[in-house]
């Protein structure tokens, strides 16, 4: 029996993935084959009618089985693109998502490019937000605050492979225990914001493979916002921007928390899909 061709395997895999309810099944199959093939997309396309070597078949079959079990594609590939950077990804932290790039855009709009600045990322996870900002602000330095030792280790790996170790450090612990609040010029956070009751409705890739402590935001999804806003009210320098990623339906709630705590010049920004995704405010003067 002759070996299947690359085209055969990709076509069969795409049907299986679609049957498992996975969107973009053809693209998933192609990317999994590219990883097993180990060459460029152009080389894979030109090899389409050729028999697949047994080693590539085995690697592709193992990766396909993982994806059919709904393990995220980014975990299987081990990396994903974010704001022009290649970010290492696995089960230690949330997968960087394009929607989060609006937080980077807003942070860059608030950070002058021509002078040094210190920034911090509360709940840094993979480190993608901090890395993206620092990649565009070479005079800036930053700290990723991360309570999960596993996620903190992934952030360090990302800063290392992106050449940012000299400008990006990781504080391993809770943000309430971090003592650098008063030194920063900008604070960002993509905190857990899914209401506890909604966790079971998430896609299997999220519900079963993302760290729960990075998802569950408490009864109304706002626990982390309340804590950060309260800490920032007394610990941040007056006028320092606090920039949040939010869930698509949380703009009014988070802005109300900011306003009640005295933050000023509140703003918001949608993601590429037009959903509310980012809100910010300037820290108040606690003496007033």
With a pLDDT cut of 90, the percent of the chain lying above it is 86
Q: Could you state, in order of their start, the residue ranges of all structural domains in the chain? A: 6-69, 91-282
Mean pLDDT of the chain: 95
Helices (H), the chain: 6-19, 25-37, 41-46, 54-68, 73-77, 101-110, 128-136, 149-161, 204-207, 223-235, 251-260
Taking 70 as the threshold, does the pLDDT of residue 113 lie above it? Answer: yes
**Which CATH number is 91-282's, of 3.40.50.150, 2.20.25.10, 3.30.1330.10, 3.30.1490.270?**
3.40.50.150
Q: pLDDT at position 286, please?
A: 77
| 255 pLDDT tier (thresholds 50, 70, 90) | very high
HSE-CB of 131 using CA atoms within 13 angstroms: 27
Beta carbons of 254 and 246 less than 8 angstroms apart: yes
pLDDT at 101 over 80: yes
pLDDT tens, 170-229? 999 999 999 999 999 999 999 999 999 999 998 989 889 988 888 888 899 999 999 999
* pLDDT score, position 1: 59
Report pLDDT digits (tens) over 149-162. Answer: 999 999 999 999 99
């Amino acid at each position: 029996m002759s070996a299947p061709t690359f085209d055969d395997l990709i076509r069969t895999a795409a049907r299986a993935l679609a049957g498992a309810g996975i969107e973009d099944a053809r693209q998933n199959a192609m990317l999994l084959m590219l990883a097993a093939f180990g060459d460029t997309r152009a080389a894979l396309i030109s090899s389409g009618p050729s028999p697949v070597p047994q080693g590539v078949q085995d690697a592709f079959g193992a990766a396909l089985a993982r994806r059919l079990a709904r393990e995220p594609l980014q975990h299987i590939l081990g990396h994903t693109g974010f704001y022009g950077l290649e970010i290492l990804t696995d089960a230690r932290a949330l997968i960087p998502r394009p929607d989060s790039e609006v937080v980077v855009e807003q942070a860059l709009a608030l950070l002058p490019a021509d002078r040094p600045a210190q920034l911090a990322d509360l709940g840094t996870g993979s480190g993608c937000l901090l890395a993206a900002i620092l990649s565009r602000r070479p005079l800036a330095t930053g700290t990723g605050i991360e309570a999960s030792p596993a996620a903190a280790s992934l952030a360090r790996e990302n800063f290392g492979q992106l050449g940012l170790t000299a400008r990006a450090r990781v504080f391993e612990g809770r943000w309430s225990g971090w003592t650098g609040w008063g030194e920063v010029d900008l604070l960002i956070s993509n905190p857990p914001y899914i209401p506890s009751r909604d966790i079971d409705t998430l896609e299997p890739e999220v519900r079963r493979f993302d760290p729960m402590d990075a998802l569950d935001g408490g009864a109304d999804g706002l626990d982390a916002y309340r804590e950060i806003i309260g800490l920032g009210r007394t610990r941040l320098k007056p006028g320092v921007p606090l920039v949040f990623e939010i869930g698509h339906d949380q703009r009014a709630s988070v802005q109300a928390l900011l306003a009640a705590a005295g933050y000023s010049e509140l703003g918001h920004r949608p993601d590429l899909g037009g959903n509310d995704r980012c809100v910010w405010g300037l820290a108040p003067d606690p003496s007033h």
